[in-house]
Structure 1
Amino acid sequence: MRPSIIFRALLGIFLLCATATFASPARAVDATETSVQVVLDSLLPIVPTTDSTLRITGRVVNGSTSALVQPRVQIRLSTSVLNGREGIDAEIYGPASSSRVLTTIDLKTDIAPGSQSGFTFTLPFTQLALTTQGTYSLVINAVQANQTMGSIRTYLPWFPSSEKMPRAVGVVWLWPIADYPARTATNVLLNDQTPVALSNGGRLTGLIDVGREFSSTLSWMIDPSLIQSADHIGRGYQVVQDGEIVVGDRSSNASRWLNDLRAAITPSNSHAFTYADVDAVADRRNGLSADVVRAMTVAPTIATSILQSPVPGGVYWAPSGRLDQKTANVLASAGATTVVLSSATMAGDPNVPRQGITDYPTSFGNLNAVLTDQRLSAALVMPQRSASEVILARQRFLAETAAIAQSPVARANAPLTVVAAPSDVRWSPVPSFLRSVLRATQSAPWMIPTTLAALTNSPRGPSDRLAYASGERQELTTAYLTRLKAVHAKISQLTAVQETPGPVNTAYSEALLRAQSSAWHEQPSTGVELLTSISRELTTQINQVRPTSSGTITFSGDSGNVPVTLANDSDSAVNVGLSLIGEPSSRLESAAKSGIVIEPGQKVSVELPVRILGGDPLPTKVQVLTPGGASYGTAASITLVSTAYARAAGWVVLAAFGAITLFVVVGITRRIMQARATDE
């Protein structure tokens, strides 16, 4: 047997045993035997000092079918600080460190099934006998008859000085403001998701409310398509509800949200990333690099216009935190200066913290590769459904940053700066969690808040990226983007006929960028619905330039002129061509006409000379053309009839009748003459 297999087996046995004992005299009960839970209501202070008092309140919740008899709460603290990030991980799976009992609290009364009982613990830190600064493991057990019935485990960082450490780690907070861009080219919202998020209590409102309090600590990362949607919603909007388009009622909320964002940001702490958070890798793979360039270049213009303040662009936030070389080249060619990646894209031990910026070489020079710390990202998106989960997520974030500050890398490479950011720009944190970790970033002695601008001017870490492999992240599918390219072709047609391409073209181009958002990784059906809606709207727009002719046109001969009326119901002057196509085409001779200019809201009449072959009615399509000769819009149908062949056929019949009559007369005459000759 190989040594690695033996090691894994022994490790599994060790973890199993550790989970069962957890350095406690109380025996742990298997999770299948109980549903007793310990939950936390508060754990304060967030950043303790020497003069602080540890205060813990919580509850024991009995979800089992049996009463807890004479229950007690046991609070334990590790006897030594955890060994960096490895120590944090070890505590997740079981008690890797020895612990001591701080106190045991008798809950006085039994806890019936479905009931709960609260507890409170208070003790000055001076009495905790903490001799070394660092992060300790804190465990709270619910005990019955020396059996652990339920438990909760978290972390307690202890850095008693209120002064910043000489080697405190710099923390850059990236604050993404983005949503699911389900808005069509005519600004109809496919659902209420964004208006609700912009309203009181909504996800985006929470981000702005907290962000305004800590604006100087944050680097705002703004999706221009979101603030564009907020602007449209604020002016009055339509939304699809139960399959029908109705007028929305959250305009005032959107306007208020947008004003709050304007008040929160400054040109120095705000950045616009690519419009609609497009999936640049998928786009580039599927021949849509031009759209990646467009999404990058329009971003700062839109953001600056709506926010009424200069907002620099040039930022691409990689949806999975990963980016391939060819796409990086495309981004750099479009003027990108910064890409946001995950530290998981870099080679080396993920537990070893690294400088939050490195170089990403491209064919057009180096990009700033901002590296979000993958473990901090994981802490930011931990479950936050209750006060207890918020406390666990907060303490995990504090423990992670404390471990970074005490790491050998931080001690050897001061100043070390890391980047705190969620793994998804459409994150949904609880405001109370955000406030607690942001206050800690400002006040904790092991952290110093800094900005993205400062990070880009700081020393670079090694650029040892892992190879990008297709399939290691979810991308927009080739089938989906093939459909999108077909819609793209319609936009090209629309642009081709317009004398001066205007806002309508921009609206459709931006709508297609929204259809390329990485948001549709999570909501693929909404992405398909958006693309279908854009295509349908575009067909309607194209068909505003159309032939209005119908019915049957009869010619006295085999040739003549076909009168056609063309209508332009659009807002732009167009330059089109016109052709007639017989069915079958071999029966109709007709030259296409080009250079037909129609002003907006006007109609023009043109005549096309034709020659018809054959006497049967000829179904004919009246097709509008682009200046390049491609079909444009939906063809009209008419029928062409020539009477020339009918008259010719009449003369043939008359001549034949005359010939037959003459033949008959001659025959009869000959017989009569023969009969007379016989009689004589």
Structure 2
Amino acid sequence: MATTAVLVPALAAVAPAQPTAATSAPVPRDDSATSGQALTVESISPRTVGEKSTVKVTGRVTNTTDDELSSATIRLRYSRYPFSDRSQLGSYASGDGAQPQVSGPKTELGKSLKPGQSATYSLKIKAEDMRLGDFGVYPLAVDLADASGRTKDTRYTFLPYQGGSSPDPVDIAWLWPLMDDPQRADDDTFLSDGLSTSLGSNGRLGRLLVAGAQSDDIALEPSPPPSTAPRPTPDIEATAKATTEEKAEDGDDNGGKKGADAGRVPITWAVDPALLGDIARMSGDTYQVLQPTGKPTVPAEDAAPTTLSRDPSPTAQQWLRQARTGLDGAPIITVPYANADIAALLRQDLRKDAEAAVSLGGETVKNVLGTDADTTVAWPADGLMNSATRDFLSERGSTRFILSDAALPSRSTRGGTATAQAALPVGGDEPDATALVVDSELSNALAQPSRSAGDAALASQRFAAETAMIAAEGGTDRTVVAAPPRDWNPGADFAADVLRSSEKLPWLDPVALGDIEADATDTAQRGQLTYPTKGARSELSGTYLEQVDEVRKDIRLFNTILTDDSDPFRPAILRLESAAWRDDKTMAAQARALVARAVTLSREDVHIIPGETVTLASKTGKIGVLVANDLDKETVTVNLSIYSENNERLSVGKYKKEMTLRPGRKTTVYVPLSARINGRTVLNLSLQNADGEPISEEVPLPVNATGLGTQALLISAVGALILVIALAPRALRRWARKRAGRAGRAGRAGRSPDAESAGAAGEADGAGDRAAGEGADAGDGTDGGPGGDGDDAPGSMQHNGRGSPSEGGRPDGSAGSGTATTGDRASDQS
């Protein structure tokens, strides 16, 4: 009766390690409990002990001390009284139950063992010598004792004894999980490298796929080095078809079964669509992995995370190829996408998210595996649901529900195991649904360590003991649903062994989950639908979902500019709403911060490219505004908003505000401007959605108006006119002087050729209009005296112009002409 005490720490060892801040998702772990054990049990045969059987136990002894181990003895103990109740199995396995008192065979080590050395042992005993009673499960223990007879180590296990007859077999239906916690924050950023390792031949998901497929054609080769391309994969479909045809021709001895399903135990695959999406993303393109930091931390939303770039994973590609073959045609059920916490979403009025999780789940399975999932079967988180969850899933087409036995407890007062199926009222005029209740004790037994040879043998015995105890309870025909934990991490040998045992053990009869139906008599064994308090308390909190809602608001704003009503961040939000985060609030907060940052960066990818300061060289003009869509996949429609900080100084004219940009495209919008006053003004540019909500930060664009334009030209023209008016009198006077000089020369031409000649010479020697006049006046002197020099100073001309006869005054008394001339000159000089 000591199984439970051993099992509890064993279960703790096998339970999936919670992700650290650096990994953010479950990583492959070594859940073997044999490390450092002095005694292991590696096989117990036969699996079903009859009256004529010989029980054989083999294993290994290891010296785990620092001293030499000598004279060690291995001995067998058992009890002649079987367990009377299933609850005793767990207690005995832990070492807390009643100890078996009957001594069996023993053997001594043939040699001493130095520290770290090991040796094998083998113990045998005939069943008839054990004098066991009827069919049942009997305690069995293996001890390691030192030379003084003191027990150093003990392994507790079970001996199912068939005796002369067996009870009626119990139907067993398998639910085989391919699930994991969310592996990504946004679609391109993985929280760790753990998934790639898990998909390998020695990884958790790799072992589950191969063992569940139960086919030699489904195998995973060791992952190639990162720099090496994956080795070619044979045509799996052709190989499977050929193998199927051969088996169909030959048949087998497996109860008359023929064909590809011969020898296979029917299982139903339980798949998380988000995991399939993660694997497909990893296999298709380059992706980013969050760099480990050692301690769980929540990054600031504006802080850039440190990520490592990864090439497409050959391991993921290989796993997908084999999964598409191995699951083709097999029954598949799904949980909501990312195992969304439906109960919490409905409680927080997030029904649309709950609907999206269910619909996206089926779509993802179809897209990745190329096959349809059975949408009539629902498996709520932890196998628990309240009436609101039941009604919601029923409305979505679910007619069968995988539930925990805590949700539909047994009504039996004797402690027996109730059958798995039960009628489940759904309310209204709808027919009752069917509840398929998972046996929690069997799930716990499957979860114990099984990665090493020693652990696998004990785990297999525990499975045989649990199912034998159910059969020994007798009663009406019953069905048990075997559903390992969603993060089940069994050893490859153990996973394959429990499926074989389902067919080989005489007290079990494997059936398909889809063949289980409830009838009217089933309601007597199960109570009403119950939602335990621990179920409500474990839901995602309202505070956390409000924080997720803040991210959703930013996503809603981003979605308003996308065409075709696309919602690229919907899967990321559903991953944030996963029930997996119930027990890991730090990882949930980290994933939420990463998604929030990804949304911000995506919105910033639709932006205005800033320009340099614009100089407006006229009263009106146009500027070009460059708008870019740097998104990789999404087409956007945005509106350009421009306003001037000073409309009196600079105003914006009409321009094309709405534009549609395909991924990676840019466009230029030409905007007319009008300047009323010279100077600097700032235009503020931003992008908005159709409702006028800003989707980008404002970009300032300085504009300098220089004042050149119609107004400036008018001012220049007025200035030129003033200049012309000011210079016109002077030009007219010059013209008058020239004309007067010509007239004087013409009048003197008939009286004195010499004088005309002298005047002509004086005019030729003068520089400009003034010199010409002076030469003409000086030529009036009869002797050509001082007045005849055309270069003479104006003072000479003023002196001669007074008309003195002695200085060559004109005989006709025309000295007044010289005065006018002098006066004109004086006026010009003034």
TM-score by length of 2: 0.64
Tell me, yes or no, if the aligned pair for 1:300 and 1:313 is still in contact at 8 Å.
Answer: yes
**Displacement, 1:278?**
1.7
Instruction: Give the number of aligned pairs.
Output: 601
Tell me, yes or no, if the aligned pair for 1:234 and 1:254 is still in contact at 8 Å.
Answer: yes
Worse overlay, 582-591 or 314-323: 582-591
Pick aligned residue for 2:395 from 333, 339, 346: 333
Distance 1:221 1:566, change over 3 A: same
Indicate the residue corresponding to 2:59 in structure 1.
58
Task: Report 1:125-274 matches (<5 A).
Answer: 125-144=127-146, 145-160=148-163, 167-183=168-184, 185-213=186-214, 216-240=265-289, 242=291, 243-248=306-311, 250-251=313-314, 253-267=315-329, 269-274=331-336
Letter of the 1:442 counterpart: E
Letter of the 1:623 counterpart: S
Q: What secondary structure does 1:201 align onto?
A: coil
Indicate the residue corresponding to 1:469 in structure 2.
533
Letter of the 1:276 counterpart: A
CA distance in 2 between counterparts of 1:103 and 1:586 reads: 107
**Displacement, 1:454?**
1.3
**Displacement, 1:345?**
3.0
**Displacement, 1:496?**
1.8
Indicate the residue corresponding to 1:405 in structure 2.
471
Distance 1:361 1:616, change over 3 A: farther
**Displacement, 1:173?**
1.0
**Displacement, 1:313?**
2.5
**Displacement, 1:523?**
5.5
User: Per-residue CA shift, 1:96-116, capped at 9, x if unaligned?
Assistant: 365311223233555566554
Tell me, yes or no, if the aligned pair for 1:82 and 1:97 is still in contact at 8 Å.
Answer: no
Task: Report 1:143-542 matches (<5 A).
Answer: 143-144=145-146, 145-160=148-163, 167-183=168-184, 185-213=186-214, 216-240=265-289, 242=291, 243-248=306-311, 250-251=313-314, 253-267=315-329, 269-347=331-409, 352-362=416-426, 365=430, 366-407=432-473, 411-412=474-475, 414-423=476-485, 425-456=486-517, 459=522, 461-469=525-533, 474-502=538-566, 505=567, 507-521=568-582, 524-542=585-603
CA distance in 2 between counterparts of 1:155 and 1:386 reads: 18
Distance 1:231 1:122, change over 3 A: same
Tell me, yes or no, if the aligned pair for 1:497 and 1:574 is still in contact at 8 Å.
Answer: yes
**Displacement, 1:46?**
2.2
CA distance in 1 between counterparts of 2:579 and 2:326 reads: 27
Tell me, yes or no, if the aligned pair for 2:656 and 2:669 is still in contact at 8 Å.
Answer: no
**Displacement, 1:241?**
6.5
TM-score by length of 1: 0.77
Distance 1:239 1:270, change over 3 A: same
CA distance in 2 between counterparts of 1:545 and 1:446 reads: 66
User: Per-residue CA shift, 1:464-488, capped at 9, x if unaligned?
Assistant: 3433326765444545433332232
**Displacement, 1:68?**
5.5
User: Per-residue CA shift, 1:571-626, capped at 9, x if unaligned?
Assistant: 555333333467799999989999613242241415488999x9996655322111
What is the root-mean-square deviation in Å for CA atoms of aligned residues? 3.8
Gaps of 5+ in 2: 6-35, 215-262, 292-305, 712-830
**Displacement, 1:394?**
1.8
Task: Report 1:528-567 matches (<5 A).
Answer: 528-552=589-613, 564-567=625-628
Tell me, yes or no, if the aligned pair for 1:66 and 1:112 is still in contact at 8 Å.
Answer: yes
Q: What secondary structure does 2:564 align onto?
A: coil
User: Per-residue CA shift, 1:620-641, capped at 9, x if unaligned?
Assistant: 5322111122221333222467
**Displacement, 1:40?**
0.9
Tell me, yes or no, if the aligned pair for 1:185 and 1:511 is still in contact at 8 Å.
Answer: yes
Q: What secondary structure does 2:324 align onto?
A: helix
2:696 pairs with 1:636: no
Task: Give the percent of matched residue pairs that are identical in Structure 1 and Structure 2.
Answer: 23
Distance 1:586 1:113, change over 3 A: farther
CA distance in 1 between counterparts of 2:578 and 2:389 reads: 16
Distance 1:266 1:249, change over 3 A: closer
2:105 pairs with 1:103: yes
Letter of the 2:386 counterpart: D
CA distance in 1 between counterparts of 2:179 and 2:702 reads: 55
Indicate the residue corresponding to 2:88 in structure 1.
87
**Displacement, 1:329?**
3.0
Letter of the 1:204 counterpart: L
CA distance in 2 between counterparts of 1:105 and 1:81 reads: 26
CA distance in 2 between counterparts of 1:46 and 1:311 reads: 36
Distance 1:57 1:178, change over 3 A: same
Q: What secondary structure does 1:484 align onto?
A: helix
**Displacement, 1:262?**
2.4
Worse overlay, 379-388 or 531-540: 531-540
CA distance in 1 between counterparts of 2:286 and 2:204 reads: 20
